[in-house]
Amino acid sequence: MDLYPGWAKRVAEMQIQTYRIQYNLSNYAVVRPCNVYGPGDNFDPDNAMVIPTLMQRIYRKENPVVVWGDGSAVRDFAFSRDVAEGVILALYYGTGSGFVNLGSGKGYTIRELVETLHSFIDFNYVFDTTKPPGFPRRVMDISLARKLIQYNPTTSLRDGLKETWDWFVKNHDEYLERQNYFKSK
């Protein structure tokens, strides 16, 4: 298990708290986004997250698209525009002495994700139950963000996926033009 991304985020938050104490800061914001997806996402097959990876495999006509696990793992998927608005709200209102979670606040099974994609894209898929499904449930509690910064994500999973797919189809090779900071030189 790669713990680095989680620790890096936590250390960054601790650094902000240190600055708050050392410099008596009162105007800062800390946000914790969930699984953010949308147009312009990272579609590099070597290191993309679940939604762009599925879209890349569907676009390349993998048949069937093999999905690890039984589809029961639950995740919080938030559309990038909703999260961007949350970041702006956090900058405007601040997050007090803590952080706010930015997600959809809703849990979707991986099966629901795949079936939602299948509702507007024609592809075959199968769940490979011999592979691990991942952590059973990861859903953000966004109640504090709703209260402190009036965060209110409005994009449905289907609408966000459809907008992302439409962008991806027109820009499927765009990731090749980007600098990949995760590849060793």
Domain boundaries, the chain: 27-173
Question: Phi/psi at 66 (nearest 5 deg)?
Answer: -95, 120
pLDDT of residue 47: 87
Confidence class of residue 5 from pLDDT cuts 50, 70 and 90? low
pLDDT above 90 (res 20): no
Q: Is the pLDDT of residue 153 over 90?
A: yes
For the cut 70, the answer to whether the pLDDT of residue 165 exceeds it is yes
CATH topology of domain 27-173: Rossmann fold (3.40.50)
| pLDDT at site 175 | 84
Q: 141 — phi, psi (to 5°)?
A: -90, 110
183 confidence band (pLDDT: 50, 70, 90) = low
From residue 22, alpha-carbon distances to 27, 28, 46 in Å are 14, 14, 41
Listing DSSP states for 20-43 in one string gives HHHHT------EEE-EEE-TT---
pLDDT above 70: residue 184: no
Is residue 76 scored above 80 in pLDDT? yes
Residue 110, pLDDT > 60, answer yes
The CA–CA distances, whole Å, from 16 to 86, 97, 135 equal 19, 10, 29
